[in-house]
Amino acid sequence: MTALAPIREPASTAASGPPESRGIRRDGVKLMVAEGEAPIAHTVFSRLGEWLRPGDLLVVNVSATMPASLDGHTAAGEPIRLHLSAPIGGDLWTVEPRRPQGIGSTRMTDHGGGTVTLAAGAAAHLLTPDSRSPRLWVTRMIDTGDPLAFLQRHGEPIRYSHTAAAWPLEAYQNVYARTPGSAEMPSAGRPFTTRLLTTLMAGGVFVAPLILHAGVASFEDGERPDVERYDVSEATAGIVNHVKGAGGRVIAVGTTSVRALETLTDSRGVVHPGSGSTDLVIGPQRGTRVVDGLITGWHDAGASHLDLVAAVAGQATVERCYRDADEYGYQRHEFGDSLLVLRDQTSVGSGNQRNASADSGRDAALSPLDHADSRMRRASAK
C-alpha cells in the first residue's frame, strides 16, 4: 500500500465538538463537491440533493457506535486506556492500548503486554502485537461476560485530544444507526438528518443499508486498517445491481460502505450478498468496481482512507479538494465538514463496468420510499 504523499490533511482546525454544540444543525456543516475535472463546488450538506439525480443510490452503514474505550491499570499501577477495535473469536479482541490524557489519549509506544485490571473485577491480557499494525494487540478479555453488555456498563466512546468536552455516546451515532458493533462512529453519515433523508427519497434517490463494524481509526502512515466485520443483505445487493443496470450511480456514504460493497463485488461489477470479515485495502491501482461516488470526511495525511478516496475520484481530484479545504477552512475529524466526490462518468474504466442484467434487482422496482423503508425495517430486525 502506497499512501498519496502530496495530499495532506486540511490545515484548518479539527472540529472540537458536534456542530449542534456550535449552534449548527447536523446537516449544516460545509460540503465540498468534486466531479472529475469540473470546478469544485462549495455548499452545505443540507443541499446534498442538488448534486444527486433520481435513480441514484446512497448506501449507508447502519452499524452503531459502541462505548469501546475502557480505563484500567497495568500491573505496575499505571493508568491505561484500552480501545477495543474488533472481536477475533471467543474472548479474543484486537485492542489498542493508549495513555490517558484528559478527555483523550496518546499513543502508548512502550507497552510491553501483560494484564490490565478493568472495572468490576474484569481484566484484559495483552498477548502479542497484531501483525497488521504495531499499535494493535491481540488481547484476551477475562471475566467480562458479554462484551457488548460490559462496554455498555463500563465503557465510554473513543475520544481524541481534539475534542473539547466528553461528548456522550449519542453524539457519536448516525441517525440511521441500528446494530451496535463499531469501535468508532462511521462518521461520514453523521450530517444526515431524518428530514434530509426523507427529502432525498421523495425526490427519487434510493437508500439502502449495509453493516460494516468499523474498528479504531487512529492508524498512521503505512498501517493497514483492522479486519472488519460486514453484512450485506440480499436486498441491498439486489438494489445496487438494479441501479447499476439502470444507469444510476452508486454513492457510498463513508469509506466503510465502500469496503463492504467492494469486498462482495466480483470482477464483472456484480455485488453478491454475504457476511464475514474483510481485510480488503482499496487504493488507486485497484480502483472500485461498483462505487461511483463517495461521501466522506477529511482524513489525516498518509491514512489508507485517502487511498480509498483516490480510488473513487482519482488522485488529482483529491489533491485539488485538499488544497481547497485549506483555503476555505474545512474542519476535520468526526464532527467536521464533508466531501462528496463523484466519478467522472465520461472516463469510467473497465474497473467500474458491469455486464449483469438489471433483472438481478427486480425487487428494487419499489418506489424509493417503500424500498428504503423496507430495507431499514429488515436491518432493524437483525
Q: Please state the length of the chain.
A: 382
Half-sphere exposure of 209 (CA within 13 A, CB side): 24
DSSP state letters, 191-257: T--HHHHHHHHHTT-EEEEEEEE-------TTPPPPPEEEEE-HHHHHHHHHHHHTT--EEEESHHH
State which H helix or E strand residue 381 sits in: none
pTM: 0.88
User: For position 3, what pLDDT does the model report?
Assistant: 44
pLDDT per 10-residue tile (average), the chain, 382 residues:
47 85 96 95 98 98 98 96 96 96 90 95 96 89 96 97 94 98 98 98 98 83 81 98 98 97 97 97 94 94 82 94 94 96 65 39 34 37 38
User: For position 128, what pLDDT does the model report?
Assistant: 96
DSSP state of 309: H
Distances 49 to 33, 203, 247 between C-alpha atoms, Å: 12, 8, 18
User: For position 379, what pLDDT does the model report?
Assistant: 37
C-alpha span between 99 and 78 (Å, rounded):
9
Residue located via cell numbers 499513543? 107
User: For position 231, what pLDDT does the model report?
Assistant: 98
CA dihedral 179, 227, 140, 99 (to 10 degrees): -90
C-alpha span between 188 and 168 (Å, rounded):
18
- For residue 360, how many other CB atoms are within 10 A of its CB? 20
C-alpha span between 199 and 168 (Å, rounded):
28
- For residue 75, how many other CB atoms are within 10 A of its CB? 9
Residue located via cell numbers 497495568? 74
B/e letters for 322-342, b = 16+ CB within 10 Å, e = fewer, are bebbeeeebbbbbbbbbbbbb
C-alpha span between 375 and 201 (Å, rounded):
13
Q: Are 279 and 256 a contacting pair, CB within 8 Å?
A: no
B/e letters for 19-46, b = 16+ CB within 10 Å, e = fewer, are beeeeeebbbbbbbbbbeeeebeeebbb
Cell digits for 93?
479482541
Residue located via cell numbers 441491498? 236
C-alpha span between 40 and 35 (Å, rounded):
7
Q: Are 303 and 284 a contacting pair, CB within 8 Å?
A: no
Classify 4 as helix, strand or coil.
coil
> What values do phi and psi take at 307, rounded to 5?
-60, -40
C-alpha span between 302 and 376 (Å, rounded):
35
C-alpha span between 301 and 135 (Å, rounded):
18
